[in-house]
Structure 1
Amino acid sequence: MPKIQRILIDEREVPAGLRSLTRIRSFAEIRSGILNTIQRTRESYPDATVFYSHSNPAFQQAFLERNPKFYAYDKKDVDLVLTPESCLPWNLINGTAKNIESDLELSREVQKWIRKLKVKSNHFHVVGKSKHLHVHPSATVYPGVVFDTTSGPVIVDKDVKITSFSFIEGPVYIGPNSQIDNARITGATTIGATCRIGGEVGTSVIGDFTNKHHEGFLGHSIVGSWVNIGALATTSDLKNNYGVVKIREENDDCITGSIKFGSVIADYSKIAIGVMLNTGTVVDFGCNVVSPRVSGYVPPFTWVESGQPYILDLFLRDARKIMARRNRELTLSETELIRILYESKVKK
């Protein structure tokens, strides 16, 4: 088999269903297991040269700034092309279990610490084989936590904190510096870095720096980064007639192919306390959802209840406040992408 030497991440066309999750970041940056597509590519083909192409020059420049070892596509032949279809929300949900298990073997960073690790379970309980539980030495697990590895591994990465009365059923990955409080996490679930998670979460993908810290159900859903989900907010992931779920994004209808599908909540959106999201709801980038019940498609920067858009300067001010709490800040390139998005979606 020929050696893979040139790889193209081709994002010139983003399919309906994935656009809301890729407004300012690439599909290749969505964690869909322990790793995202970029990390998986680097681990699988460490000697390959990786190129990137996007239809928006500003987006491409921002991506290459974040990934300095990648290059703008030079239009020459490549050995492997990676496209966004694998990261459509329903594909992410269906592929999470397999990705967690394969990434466990693929990730050199994870392998560094699990090879020498022997889990001491004298103060928490393991259902299933303890060899499938991997807790980083820097993580803190309180007494009264139950891990169930019967259906798949549980990986708890560095500096994670899991407090008492949490139940975690694999396959599950919990990213660095995240905190799990009195939570029930089941099914194939990925939780990103520096998240705060509580209540019930099942078969979902959660991005970095996202909070769902209180009671409420999140199921069969994809949540971006820098999202806040308030107390008792709940997603429905099954229609009353058990029909296949369709979602709407912009002017396109998408068939998920599954009767189990919850919501898509894009980056920087906020869901207020007690909000009920109907099956198949899509909340696009930068929304503030305060209505008691939401369904269908919510366009970018919508302030749901008032019917008015989120004022851009106020959105940027609020985003900077939120990010400062995690010692992060918006980059100039991210700010420019947000301004471009606002001009194209709100000020038409």
Structure 2
Amino acid sequence: MKFLLVDLDHPAGRVLSRFEPVFAYRNGIFSDIERIRRLHPDAVPVYLHPDARLERLFADRLGLVPFRADQAKVDLTAFSSEHAHTGADRRSFVETELQSLYDDVEFSADVVALLDDAPSRIAADLFLLNREDFEHRQAAQLIGAKQDLWIHQSVEVPPGVVFDTREGPVVIDERCSLTPFTYIAGPFYAAPDCHLDNVRITGGTVLGEGCRVGGEIENSLFGRFSNKHHEGFVGHSLIGNWVNLGALTTTSDLKNNYGEIRLQLPQERFPTRASSFFTLETGKIKFGSILGDCVKTAIGTMLNTGTVVDAGSNIFAGSPSSYVPPLSWGITGHSYRPGRFLEDCEKIFARRKQVVHPTMQELVSLLSHLS
């Protein structure tokens, strides 16, 4: 079976996919690529991206077959153009020209919709979980049905932790740790090795592997190894991998006039500080922030409604503007030197016994326009 993964390169999704494709972003218990591999373990996934360089690098990162290697004779001129922000033209091209070449085709989601989809995905993904490793444990403080509480056998639950399954399942995966005075309402999933310390979490929230969280979180998705370990509120937000939120970092997810939230996004795939921008209507009155991979915020950082901070940025000395370009240093327009950024990544990753992927240097070069 050959499976085609089509990256429609939605502008908002670019912020979350600077160093790996959006198919790798966990949007339920699993990411799209994990879900496909569990459902179709013998499938050969082929990956298509409008940019040939990103297609090659991302395919290498996830062990996929690049489309241009699989179908070298196909003319992708119409698919690769950047004129459509919605991805509708790209989708139409694939459905017309490429669908018949593969057994199945999956398109990347518009990331703005991921928060709405997360609750149902968490519930549906339970059927793909290795459920024999989990227990419907009778916690001392449980509101709702016991059968909706899934605790991995390796996890200890101390007194003072409250689980609320009335709105959906709560799933705590292996080697997670919890401290007293933690409240978790479903639908919720914590991937392996998460630390939940005196945190209040409400529905539709996903924590990726190795996250460390405290304070208050509502309906948000976190990538791998991201930290929000102190007080502060994160709501209706998309947080990438290796993000570190300083103490009291807080997102606004609702305008005080209840108006619909708009995002300011760059036109270019690899934006500069002189990029032109367009307005993306989310159609939502509740939406917080999008923070790309390896973003860091200083203590007390306030993120206004609809703030977008692109990958590799280090935010300090005030509140950022509605869009912050990748590899920004502070909020004054200075750049985070690529070499310094990679050196810092190596140090940070090593603290979690992880290594920087070999593709990252080239991807950082694309973002910093050094290639």
TM-score (norm 1): 0.91
1:170 to 186, 189, 211: 186
The structural deviation recorded for 1:125 is 0.8
Give the letter for the 1:260 counterpart. K
Q: Deviations over 1:3-62 (max 9, x none)?
A: xx3321112x40121111111110100000000000111222333332112244443333
Query: Take 2:322 and 2:66, find their aligned partners in 1: how far apart are those partners?
Result: 37
Note if contact 2:295-2:313 (Cα within 8 Å) is conserved in structure 1: yes
Q: Residue 9 of structure 1 aligns with which residue? A: 5
Q: Deviations over 1:268-318 (max 9, x none)?
A: 110111011000000001001113322310000111234211111111111
Q: Using the TM superposition, name which of 290-299 and 14-23 deviates more.
A: 290-299
Note if contact 1:280-1:295 (Cα within 8 Å) is conserved in structure 2: no
- Matches of residues 193-204 of structure 1 in structure 2 within 5 Å? 193-204=209-220
Q: Residue 106 of structure 2 aligns with which residue? A: 82
Query: Take 1:227 and 1:203, find their aligned partners in 2: how far apart are those partners?
Result: 17
Query: Take 1:335 and 1:294, find their aligned partners in 2: how far apart are those partners?
Result: 26
Q: Deviations over 1:191-235 (max 9, x none)?
A: 000010000000000000000000000000000000000100100
Give the letter for the 1:7 counterpart. F
- Matches of residues 38-187 of structure 1 in structure 2 within 5 Å? 38-68=33-63, 70-73=64-67, 74-75=70-71, 77-84=101-108, 86=109, 88-107=110-129, 110-114=130-134, 117-121=135-139, 124-187=140-203
Note if contact 1:279-1:295 (Cα within 8 Å) is conserved in structure 2: no
Query: Take 1:56 and 1:142, find their aligned partners in 2: how far apart are those partners?
Result: 49
Q: Deviations over 1:236-255 (max 9, x none)?
A: 00011101111111123211
How much is the aligned-residue C-alpha RMSD, in angstroms? 1.6
Note if contact 1:227-1:268 (Cα within 8 Å) is conserved in structure 2: yes
Note if contact 2:136-2:148 (Cα within 8 Å) is conserved in structure 1: no
Q: Which ranges in structure 2 are unaligned for 5 or more consecutive residues?
A: 72-97, 267-276
Query: Take 2:243 and 2:156, find their aligned partners in 1: how far apart are those partners?
Result: 24
Query: Take 1:288 and 1:261, find their aligned partners in 2: how far apart are those partners?
Result: 22
Query: Take 2:310 and 2:136, find their aligned partners in 1: how far apart are those partners?
Result: 43
Query: Take 2:103 and 2:247, find their aligned partners in 1: how far apart are those partners?
Result: 48
Q: Residue 350 of structure 2 aligns with which residue? A: 324
Query: Take 1:313 and 1:29, find their aligned partners in 2: how far apart are those partners?
Result: 25
Give the letter for the 2:200 counterpart. R
Q: Residue 223 of structure 1 aligns with which residue? A: 239
Give the letter for the 1:79 counterpart. D
How many residues get paired?
A: 331
Query: Once superposed, which parts of structure 1, at least 4 consecutive aligned residues long, lie more than 4 Å away?
Result: none
The structural deviation recorded for 1:120 is 4.0
Q: Residue 229 of structure 2 aligns with which residue? A: 213
2:307 to 263, 268, 281: 281
SS in 2 for 1:140: coil
Note if contact 2:150-2:170 (Cα within 8 Å) is conserved in structure 1: yes
SS in 2 for 1:40: helix
Note if contact 2:20-2:61 (Cα within 8 Å) is conserved in structure 1: no
Q: Residue 88 of structure 2 aligns with which residue? A: none
2:31 to 31, 36, 40: 36
The structural deviation recorded for 1:118 is 4.2
Query: Take 1:248 and 1:226, find their aligned partners in 2: how far apart are those partners?
Result: 23
Query: Take 2:185 and 2:255, find their aligned partners in 1: how far apart are those partners?
Result: 25
Query: Take 2:62 and 2:231, find their aligned partners in 1: how far apart are those partners?
Result: 37
Q: Using the TM superposition, name which of 52-61 and 192-201 deviates more.
A: 52-61
Q: Residue 257 of structure 1 aligns with which residue? A: 283
Query: Take 1:334 and 1:46, find their aligned partners in 2: how far apart are those partners?
Result: 27
Aligned identity (percent) is: 40
Give the letter for the 1:233 counterpart. T
Note if contact 2:9-2:49 (Cα within 8 Å) is conserved in structure 1: no
The structural deviation recorded for 1:90 is 2.0
Query: Take 2:128 and 2:147, find their aligned partners in 1: how far apart are those partners?
Result: 17
Q: Deviations over 1:316-342 (max 9, x none)?
A: 111111101001111221222112221
Note if contact 2:189-2:205 (Cα within 8 Å) is conserved in structure 1: yes
